[in-house]
Structure formats: C-alpha cells, structure tokens
C-alpha cells in the first residue's frame, strides 16, 4: 500500500495547456497555461491549486517573519470599510476614482478596502487607552480591492489582490522610528530568503501620509517605476525623490522641444520646455532627449494635479477652449538648462525667439483670453530639472559615484505615518506625566504585495520552456518523474530517500510524484512549464544502472546520480535556489 502522505500529481488538479498562444509568451501567459490561475473578470483572477500552493507558501513565509521576528499578532479585518471613516481621514475624495463604493439598503456608504489604515486605527482607538499598552504590532494577509482604470500585466496591476499589511502603534517618535528600522531589517530578510534581488529605495509617501518611506523594488523592464542607485555608495531612491548632480548643459539655446500635459480638471494646459540635446560636462558626450525623458515627478512639483495618465492632452484642451466662459490657463514650465531669456520670451503673448520651431499655443486662439504663467523654478524655489536621471549621472550622496537608472517593480512599501491617522480618528493614549494628557499614537504601516510577488517572479524568471520558482515558494520543490517500465515502488523509494534531506533548507523540501498516465517526454515538458526547481527522473539510466537523472534548469544542472548520493545532491541544489 502507498502511504497516504505521499504527494501525487494524479490527485491534484492543474489544467496545463501544451500549446502556447501566438506571439511572445510572458510570465503571466505561462501562469495561465501552466494551470496556476485563470482570468475571471478584467483584473480579477481565480487562483487554481498550483497557484494557491505558491500563495500559501509565500503567506506562511511572510507571516513567520512577522510573528517570530517582530512579535506581531495576526488579525483579519473585513474587506468592507466605511466611507465615513475615509471621509474623516481625508482620503475619500482624493482616492474616490480608485474605490469600489456601494451603499446598503439604508443608504449607508461603504467601500471595498484597498488598504485598512482607517479601520485598524479605529479598532485600536477603541481598545488601547494608555501608553502601557504599547508598542502594538498587528498584521494581516487579506484580499484588497482597487478599481484600476486600466488593469494590466495580470497579477501586477489587478483590481483584486492579496497583501500583507503590518500596522504599528508606538508611544513616542523615538519608539516608532526604532520600529521602522526593525521592520526594514525584517523586510530585507524576507526578500533574501526568496533570493530576490530587491532594492530598498527612498520613496515619496504620497497619499498615505507621513514623511518617511521606502519602497522595495525588483528590477525588471516591465516595472512602472524608475529606481536609481549608486555604484560606489548605498544611495538608492525612487526617481520621484532621487537627486543627481547636474552635469550637462544645453547645446543650443534654440534647440528645444515641448511636451504637453493637462490637469485633471482640464483647465490648465502644461507646456514643458526642455533642451533637444545636451552636452555632458564630464566627457563631452552628447545626449538627445524625447518626451519619454520628461521627469513627471518634477513637473508635479509645480502642477500637483497634473493628469499623468493622459497621453495626448491637445484634444482635451481643444474641447475646453471651445466652450464659452471657461477660465483656462496655460502654464509654461522651463528646464534649468535653457537660458533666462527663454523664460522671458515665453512670458509675453508672442514669442520673440527667432525661428521658433513650435507654437506657444497648440492652436491659433488669437481672440481667446488665456491666462499665461511661466516658471523655471519649483515651489521650493529650486531651478527645475525636467530631464529624468540617466545612467552615468553623478551621485548626489558621494563625490565619486555614478548613478544607475533602471525600471523596477514595487513589491513592498514601508511608511512612518506619525499621527496622520491617529489624530484624525481619535487614536489617543493617556501619558502618565504630571498633566496626564491624552496624546495621539505614533503609527507606521508596512505592506508587501503577495499576489504581486507571484506575478513579478513569473515575469522575472520565465524562459522559453516555462516558469522558474525560488525554492522557498515553489508549488513543489522537487518532482519525481517516471518513464515507461519503471516499477512504482522504485519511485516511492526515491521519494522516501529524498525526504531524508536535512539541514536549514529542509523546510523548503516538498516532493511530489508525477504518477500520471502520460509519456516521459510529456511529463518532462510539463515539469519545465510548471517550473519545479528540481526534476528527478527514473528513465533509461534507472532501468540499466539504477542511477537517477537530476535536472535543475535554473542552475544548468543535468547529472546522473546514485541513489545514496541523492539527498546530498538535492540539499546542495536547494541551498543554491
């Protein structure tokens, strides 16, 4: 009799497809073809058994770090949140376009929570009364919801997603910052355990609030963010907050271009003027720029309500200017490399620069009264650098380093919130000083995108044959594949032999026997598609010499192994994966 604990693929359901769709197949397409998930609606997916195994392992890994290293308690907050709480915190109006909102039969407004700051703060405010109850660390791993305007890239930008949230409450700023440092160290350990090359970058807090945050990015061409890092020091930052030493100058005062944007209320047309070509002062190298080189974050420092999602602003602007009685404004933003005379020329109704290559206004509204504003400085008074940081720019943190700029995908984010939510929602504590005052708690929130990591790993490690998983989160860390004529009891004995693997990496050991009634080539092709880290084959070598073939595609390993050596070989491969 086969022991009931033996894991068999014949008892699992994962509907793989052998034929790929036409064209280049990315990681998300392979997740679908390998039977990890299926699309349900736009930006929403059903997780099938293999995908659920990966998700469960990832959740367990993250939860273990939260509980054992941070002494955090696990909760599970409702997916339904109150609109009134979000209104009280000031976030309802700012994030309205991304919220799934609804009302109950009494007309009370609710929403599907994309995050839980309001709910957790209210919960803690009702239970914690004095500073003796702090510090408090609570985390959850739950589905979240965001009404993405344009869901894309599968699990990377969906409407339903799974996240780990950690919320911390401290009695002082010093304690909160110590907590922040502790969490950052744990985050580094989480990504190291999965062997993912994640960059921890300084970041903008945005709508979350607070003045200290870091993002955890996985470099990939599919990333929607840009991260810069120094080749000499530990400087790493999101492009939105990164700085560089300006080391180039415009080649010609008249060789310039314009990129046009528009505000969300469509009342301001934004002309971003920048040099067409610059010369690097270090080596004399020439750089040419296009609209893709515009630093949108710098533009937003002047125009916070810029609608960065609009690719062509002119049709929207034309519609507004055609309406009677509309108060509209044209804002010229000038890069610091262009001379002061350029800004002065823009300030007039008609430009005075000779051979002007583009119109100040995109259409001839000679009779239309339009307010024109021109600036070459941001709201802090600093000259505007409207060109994105490029690889090779000088580091602002050290004297000898140069920056590397690369696309990256955000997997996690840490925020020190301070009293942003505790003040608004009444989360106060009694401090035992002479006056016995109630003061707001110091808060932090820390997220990791569980489903996003699954999608990111699939994209990062995919190849033409299939998926590749870090052993820590693989659906099974090792699959045993048998060929025609192999006795099943031999495969069971191999299964038991592998399970003798010991050491620190044994916690990842998760063996499965592929006992499906398929040919050996079919099963090997399926194993590559699914992305099992290690494949042990009982084929011709086993029938002729009782030797096993061990394969690891990621490490380029394919070798014949004696049965007695198998546990050690598996252990070494796991350590490298």
Asked if residue 182 and residue 131 are part of one domain, the reply reads yes
Domain range for 363 is 248-375
Asked if residue 567 and residue 526 are part of one domain, the reply reads yes
Between the alpha carbon of residue 280 and those of residues 288, 331, 404, 532, the distances in Å are 11, 29, 16, 48
Single out the residue in 458, 485, 502 at which a domain terminates.
458
pLDDT tens column, 48-71: 999 999 999 999 999 999 999 999
Residue 510: what are its φ and ψ, rounded to 5°?
-150, 95
**Spatial contact of 306 and 297, defined as CB atoms under 8 Å apart:** no
Greater pLDDT, 205 or 101: 101
Residue 568 has pLDDT above 80, yes or no: yes
> Is 314 inside any structural domain?
yes
Single out the residue in 357, 375, 393 at which a domain terminates.
375
Asked if residue 447 and residue 473 are part of one domain, the reply reads no
pLDDT at 361: 54
Asked if residue 440 and residue 551 are part of one domain, the reply reads no
pLDDT tens column, 214-266: 999 999 888 888 899 999 999 999 988 887 777 777 777 668 888 999 998 88
pLDDT at 23: 67
> Is 4 inside any structural domain?
no
Residue 505 has pLDDT above 60, yes or no: no
pLDDT at 194: 95
Single out the residue in 458, 479, 502 at which a domain terminates.
458
Asked if residue 477 and residue 419 are part of one domain, the reply reads no
Work out the average pLDDT over 21-44: 90
pLDDT at 281: 67
Asked if residue 480 and residue 552 are part of one domain, the reply reads yes
Asked if residue 213 and residue 118 are part of one domain, the reply reads yes
List all residues 6 or more positions away from 501 whose beta carbon is below 8 Å from its beta carbon: 509, 567, 570, 571, 574
Residue 116 sits in a domain whose CATH number is: 3.30.930.10
pLDDT tens column, 434-489: 667 889 999 999 999 999 999 999 999 999 999 999 999 999 999 999 998 899 99
Asked if residue 411 and residue 361 are part of one domain, the reply reads no
The model carries a pTM of 0.86
> Is 181 inside any structural domain?
yes
Asked if residue 278 and residue 175 are part of one domain, the reply reads no
**Spatial contact of 171 and 422, defined as CB atoms under 8 Å apart:** no
> Is 213 inside any structural domain?
yes
Asked if residue 182 and residue 320 are part of one domain, the reply reads no
pLDDT at 353: 39
Residue 561 has pLDDT above 70, yes or no: yes
> Is 280 inside any structural domain?
yes
Greater pLDDT, 418 or 437: 418
Asked if residue 547 and residue 475 are part of one domain, the reply reads yes
Q: Work out how many domains the chain is built from and give that number.
A: 3
Asked if residue 357 and residue 221 are part of one domain, the reply reads no
**Spatial contact of 417 and 444, defined as CB atoms under 8 Å apart:** yes
């Amino acid at each position: 009799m086969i022991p009931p604990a033996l894991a068999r693929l014949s008892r699992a359901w994962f509907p793989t497809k052998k034929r790929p769709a036409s064209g280049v197949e990315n990681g998300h397409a392979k997740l679908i073809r390998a039977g990890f998930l299926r699309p349900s609606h736009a930006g929403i997916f059903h997780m099938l058994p293999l995908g659920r195994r990966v998700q469960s392992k990832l959740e367990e890994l993250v939860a273990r770090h939260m509980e054992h290293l941070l002494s955090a308690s696990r909760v599970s907050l409702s997916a339904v949140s109150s609109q009134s709480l979000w209104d009280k915190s000031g976030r309802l109006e700012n994030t309205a376009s991304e919220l799934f909102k609804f009302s109950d039969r009494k007309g009370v407004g609710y929403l599907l929570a994309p995050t839980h700051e309001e709910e957790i703060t209210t919960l803690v405010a009702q239970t914690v009364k004095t500073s003796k109850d702090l510090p408090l660390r609570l985390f959850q791993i739950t589905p979240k919801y965001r009404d993405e305007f344009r869901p894309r890239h599968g699990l990377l930008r969906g409407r339903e997603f799974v996240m780990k949230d950690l919320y911390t409450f401290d009695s002082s700023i010093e304690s909160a910052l110590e907590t922040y440092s502790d969490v950052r160290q744990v985050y580094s350990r989480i990504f190291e355990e999965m062997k993912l090359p994640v960059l921890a970058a300084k970041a903008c807090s945005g709508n979350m609030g607070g003045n200290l945050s870091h993002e955890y990015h996985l470099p990939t061409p599919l990333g929607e963010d840009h991260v810069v890092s120094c080749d000499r020091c530990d400087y790493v930052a999101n492009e939105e907050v990164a700085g560089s030493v300006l080391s180039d100058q415009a080649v010609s005062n008249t060789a310039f271009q314009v990129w046009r944007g528009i505000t969300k209320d469509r009342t301001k047309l934004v002309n971003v003027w920048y040099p067409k070509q610059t010369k690097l002062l270090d080596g004399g190298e020439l750089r040419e720029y296009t609209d893709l080189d515009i630093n949108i974050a710098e533009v937003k420092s002047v125009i916070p309500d810029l609608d960065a999602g609009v690719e062509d602003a002119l049709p929207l602007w034309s519609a507004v200017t055609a309406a009677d009685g509309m108060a509209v404004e044209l804002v010229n933003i000038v890069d610091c490399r262009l001379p002061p005379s350029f800004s002065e020329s823009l300030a007039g109704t008609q430009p005075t620069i000779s051979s002007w290559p583009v119109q100040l206004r995109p259409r001839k509204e000679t009779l239309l009264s339009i307010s024109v504003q021109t600036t070459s400085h941001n709201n802090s008074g600093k000259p505007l650098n409207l060109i994105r940081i490029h690889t090779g720019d000088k580091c602002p943190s050290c004297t000898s380093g140069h920056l590397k700029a690369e696309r990256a995908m955000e997997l996690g984010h840490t925020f020190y919130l301070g009293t942003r939510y505790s003040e608004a929602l009444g989360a106060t504590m009694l401090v035992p000083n002479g006056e016995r005052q109630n003061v707001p708690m110091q808060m932090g929130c820390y997220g990791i995108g569980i489903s996003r990591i699954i999608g990111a790993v699939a994209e990062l490690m995919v190849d033409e044959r299939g998926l590749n998983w870090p052993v820590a989160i693989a659906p099974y860390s090792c699959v045993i594949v048998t060929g025609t004529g192999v006795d099943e009891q031999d495969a069971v004995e191999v299964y038991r032999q592998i399970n003798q693997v010991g050491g620190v990496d044994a916690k990842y050991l998760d063996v499965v026997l592929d006992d499906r009634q398929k040919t050996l080539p079919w099963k090997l092709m399926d194993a590559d598609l699914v992305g099992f880290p290690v494949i042990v084959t009982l084929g011709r070598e086993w029938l002729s010499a009782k030797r096993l073939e061990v394969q690891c595609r990621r490490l380029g390993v394919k070798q014949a192994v004696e049965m007695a050596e198998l546990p050690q070989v598996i252990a070494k491969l796991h350590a490298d994966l």
